[in-house]
């Protein structure tokens, strides 16, 4: 199983969407650091390199990172279908559940790699602004980017690591959802579109206040609200497991 | 025990049946060729046999194990279900086979070199598959299929895209494997080529197995007699005649020529010619499909 997982991971990082996604995650922080409209959009005048890191996370999590994760999970199965290798894999005495599990695990690891690369790119892009303590905030703690006084480098790093970890967990159900749709449609594009459409639809359901606490989309900004992590993390985990279970169930009897 | 056995296998998408009640068996060492026009259900049947698709009726057994109930049944199976066979283009031929070997539980590295040599691919073994020609990929597919020494080999159009040398290589290999006891089921449009060594030919049409022709030990005779229609009717009543049909102003039959001759003369028919005839599988196939 470990070897299968490693192979799936290798294949995932060979995907075009993953390569482009990682490149974008690494390079975009350099763009944010030079963006002239930060004050108008985020009310931010860069005072520290740490703020470049949080800015990259906030900007990325709005749409780009969720989309990249959905694309990668969809393509991990869709590309195998389009190049015909999925059939070759299933001609062996390999239980389908084990294959989809290996794909799921590699897709679930991807958000953390993506965020890790973005973190690294942001640190490099933030270097010219300094990575020491500063007066202000990371945008993730009390007082937003204005902060509540002096923030040490250690505190800033702690806030950012915790926010990146939470953001990674937020992206897990999205990867599982995309993989579920990939097992249904056996197509990268159809699966990615279906996953995005599902998220958009869930956002509309916010008009039903009774449903709101249980919607996946309610917790897509959990990295900004660590106080909601109690229920949020449990629900995200339930969604991830639920989507993964359905994906395995669909794939088990899918005609290829 | 049959190496491969299909029992009333059927598949329908919604209300539309694609395959209905196909039953056949392939014994170890036997080559079974599936023929049929496009859309007759050959590829669907191959997908069902290999466990890639699920039947709506019937079952497929590999050495007695239901391929749809136990993935382990596929440990006996080697298959190429697409032409050309699909591989990861960014890996070399050898690396692709190494991955397949792992999935099939083959631990000897030497076996990979052995099958590459057998399919004459050693020269390109360490090149990326993306740079392979169609024929090379097709041969690599066959190498992957026989890597774990399967007891049942299922191939969809194994000679598609191959040059004459490659075609000969594949046919030679299949005959060799059959002699080693491997049961081979293959779909093909090239009936003349496979009729040289196939033991049985299944003719599919409209999703049904229209006919099963046993080629092994088959002796066909050609009879010219007058009146021809009456002679045909008489032959059909003889228990010593297995089959009789009209073809091009003559009757082709299987059975005892002595008994046939005696019966015809006794009934007063004029016999103009009677002799052995090489069985023309292609003509038989065309006629069978035409009347389906």
Specify which residues B277 forms β-bridges with: B220
Question: Is A90 within 8 Å of B52 when comparing Cβ atoms?
Answer: yes
Q: Is the pLDDT at B191 greater than 90, yes or no? A: no
**Bond from prior residue into B84 cis (ω within 30 degrees of 0):** yes
How far is the C-alpha of B170 from the C-alpha of B51, rounded, in Å? 24
Q: Of residues B218 and A90, which shows the higher confidence score?
A: A90
pLDDT of amino acid A138: 85
pLDDT tens, position by position, A162-180: 999 999 999 999 999 999 9
Say if residue B292's pLDDT is above 80. Answer: no
Segment A68-94 shows an average pLDDT of: 93
Quickly state the pLDDT bin for B220 (edges 50, 70, 90). confident
CA angle in degrees (0–180, nearest 5) for B277-B283-B287 = 125
- The domain defined by B220-290 folds into Alpha-Beta Plaits (3.30.70)
> Which has the minimum average pLDDT: A36-40, A186-190, B17-21, B267-271?
A36-40
For the domain B4-214, what is the CATH superfamily, name and number? P-loop containing nucleotide triphosphate hydrolases (3.40.50.300)
Helices B134-146 and B164-179: crossing angle in degrees, nearest 10, is 10
pLDDT band at residue B88 under the 50/70/90 scheme: very high
Q: Residue B45: which of B84, B13, B6 has the closest Cα?
A: B6
CA pair distance A235, B35, nearest whole angstrom:
54
Of B74, B89, B102, the CB nearest to A91: B74
Average pLDDT across chain A, whole number: 91
* Three-class secondary structure of residue B232 per DSSP: helix
Tens digits of residue pLDDT in A217-229: 888 888 888 888 8
- Closest Cα of chain A to B196: distance in Å? 29
Mean pLDDT computed over B108-120? 92
CA distance B78 to B50: 9
**What is the pLDDT at residue A113?**
97
Percent of chain A clearing pLDDT 70 (strictly above): 100
Report how many domains make up chain A.
1
Examine the pLDDT at B282 and tell me if it is beyond 80. no
User: Shortest CB distance from A91 goes to which of B50, B53, B99?
Assistant: B50
Residue B162 pLDDT greater than 80, yes or no: yes
- Report pTM: 0.84
**CA-based nearest residue in chain B for residue A87:** B52
Contact A92 B72 (CB under 8 A): no
**Residue B275 above 90 pLDDT?**
no
DSSP code string of B58-105: EEEEETTEETTT-GGGGGGEEEE-SSSPP--TTSBHHHHHHHHHHHHT
How many Cα atoms are found within 13 Å in the side-chain-facing hemisphere of B117?
A: 5
For range B121-136, the mean pLDDT: 93
Q: Cα distance from A119 to chain B (closest Cα, Å)? A: 29
The yes-or-no verdict on residue A230 having pLDDT over 80 is yes
- Domain residues for the domain of A164 are 2-252
Q: What is the mean pLDDT of chain B?
A: 89
**Sequence ranges of the domains in chain B:** 4-214, 220-290
Say what percent of chain B tops pLDDT 70.
98
Mean local confidence (pLDDT), A178-204 = 95
Q: Which residues of A touch B72 (CB under 8 A)?
A: 93
> What span, in angstroms and rounded, lies between the C-alpha atoms of A215 and A48?
35
Cβ neighbour number for residue A254 with a 10 Å cutoff: 17
Looking at beta carbons, which residues of chain B come within 8 Å of A19?
none
Chain A residue nearest residue B11, CA to CA: A255
Has residue B28 got a pLDDT over 90?
Answer: yes
Of A85, A87, A93, the CB nearest to B74: A93
**Model confidence at B79: pLDDT above 80:** yes
Is A31 or B289 the better-scoring residue by pLDDT?
A31
Are B4-214 and B220-290 in the same CATH fold? no
User: Does A67 have pLDDT greater than 90?
Assistant: yes
* Cβ separation B73–A90 shorter than 8 A: no
Helices (DSSP H) in A127-228: which residue ranges? 153-185, 188-204
pLDDT at residue number A17: 92
């Amino acid at each position: 199983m470990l070897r299968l997982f490693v192979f799936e991971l290798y294949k995932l990082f060979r995907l075009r969407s993953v390569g482009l996604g990682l490149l974008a995650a690494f390079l975009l922080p350099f763009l944010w650091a030079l963006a002239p409209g930060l004050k108008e959009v985020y009310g931010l005048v860069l005072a520290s390199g740490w703020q470049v890191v949080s800015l990259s996370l906030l900007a990325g999590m709005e749409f780009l990172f969720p989309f990249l994760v959905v694309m990668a999970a969809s393509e991990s199965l869709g590309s195998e279908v389009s190049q015909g290798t999925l059939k070759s894999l299933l001609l062996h005495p390999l239980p389908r559940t084990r294959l989809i599990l290996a794909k799921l695990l590699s897709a679930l690891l991807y958000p953390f790699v993506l965020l890790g690369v973005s973190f690294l790119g942001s640190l490099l892009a933030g270097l010219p602004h300094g990575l020491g303590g500063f007066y202000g905030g990371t945008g993730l703690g009390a007082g937003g980017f204005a902060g509540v006084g002096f923030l040490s480098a250690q505190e800033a790093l702690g806030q950012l690591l915790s926010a990146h970890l939470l953001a990674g967990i937020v992206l897990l159900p999205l990867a599982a959802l995309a993989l579920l749709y990939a097992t249904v449609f056996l197509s990268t594009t159809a699966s990615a579109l279906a996953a995005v459409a599902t998220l958009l639809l869930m956002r509309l359901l916010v008009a039903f206040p009774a449903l709101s606490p249980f919607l996946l989309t309610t917790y897509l900004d959990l990295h900004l609200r660590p106080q909601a992590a109690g229920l949020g993390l449990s629900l995200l985990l339930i969604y991830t497991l639920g989507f993964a279970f359905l994906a395995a169930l669909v794939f088990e009897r899918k005609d290829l | 025990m049959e190496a491969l056995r299909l029992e009333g296998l059927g598949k329908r998408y919604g209300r539309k049946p694609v395959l209905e009640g196909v039953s056949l068996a392939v014994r170890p060492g036997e080559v079974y060729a599936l023929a049929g026009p496009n859309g007759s259900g050959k590829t669907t049947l191959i997908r069902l046999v290999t466990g890639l698709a699920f039947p709506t009726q019937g079952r497929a057994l590999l050495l007695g194990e239901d391929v749809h109930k136990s993935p382990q049944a596929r440990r006996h199976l080697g298959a190429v279900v697409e032409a050309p066979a699909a591989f990861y283009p960014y890996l070399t031929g050898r690396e692709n086979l190494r991955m397949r070997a792992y999935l099939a539980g083959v631990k000897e590295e030497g076996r990979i070199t052995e099958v590459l040599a057998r399919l004459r691919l050693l020269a390109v073994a360490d090149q990326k598959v993306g740079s392979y020609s169609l024929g090379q990929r097709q041969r690599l597919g066959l190498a992957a299929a026989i890597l774990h020494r399967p007891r049942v080999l299922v191939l969809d159009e194994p000679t598609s895209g191959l040059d004459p040398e490659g075609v000969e290589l594949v046919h030679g290999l299949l005959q060799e494997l059959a002699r080693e006891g491997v049961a081979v089921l293959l779909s093909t449009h090239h009936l003349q080529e496979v009729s040289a060594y196939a033991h049985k030919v299944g003719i599919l049409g409209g999703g049904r197995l229209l006919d099963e022709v046993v080629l092994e030990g088959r002796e066909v005779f050609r009879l010219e007699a007058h009146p021809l229609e009456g002679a045909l009717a008489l032959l059909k009543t003889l228990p010593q005649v297995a089959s009789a049909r009209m073809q091009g102003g003559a009757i082709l039959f299987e059975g005892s020529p002595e008994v046939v001759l005696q019966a015809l003369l006794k009934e007063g028919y004029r016999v103009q010619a009677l002799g052995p005839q090489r069985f023309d599988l292609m003509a038989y196939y065309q006629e069978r499909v035409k009347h389906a």
